[in-house]
Copies of this chain bind each other. A is one copy, B any other.
Amino acid sequence: MGLPEDFNAYRSKMNEKIMASDSLIIKRIFNLDTNAYQEGSLDLRTKEMIGLTCSLVLRCDDCVKYHLGKCKEVGFTTEEVNEAMGVATLIGGTIVIPHLRRAFEYWESLQNV
């Protein structure tokens, strides 16, 4: 299943174009974004949980996909991810459910990468 590969390829291609645009504000946001998810007072796992659940309540499919990929990398189990997404769906309401469907599909496809 090609979901993660297609997502990552498009994301990388466009990020390169954005960075090549020499837009100072955008570059600094991207830079800060990279640093913010490094280990600090909070560990990597906690930060990815924050990234995943905030993305879900704000209903951004691409952000959810990105953080699901990172959640897999840092070793979260399906049970942990599902529980976090359950809390986020409760906070954000049933309007989140269509994004939850796509998140489940993406998480499943990540297992086959």
Which residues in A have some Cβ–Cβ distance to B below 8 Å?
Answer: 10-11, 14-15, 17-18, 21, 23-26, 28-30, 32-33, 35-37, 40-42, 45-47, 49-51, 53-55, 57-63, 77-80, 82-98, 100-102, 104-105, 108
Q: Is there an interface contact between A89 and B26, defined as CB atoms closer than 8 Å?
A: yes
Q: Is there an interface contact between B105 and A41, defined as CB atoms closer than 8 Å?
A: no
Given contacts A83-B40, A87-B51, A95-B93, contact A14 B101 (CB under 8 A): yes
Given contacts A63-B95, A101-B18, contact A33 B90 (CB under 8 A): yes
By DSSP majority rule, is chain A's interface helix, strand, loop, or mixed? helix
Once bound together, how far apart are the Cα atoms of A82 and B29, in whole Å?
A: 13
Given contacts A79-B41, A83-B23, contact A29 B89 (CB under 8 A): yes
Query: Which residue from B32, B77, B87 sits with its C-beta under 8 Å from A36?
Result: B87
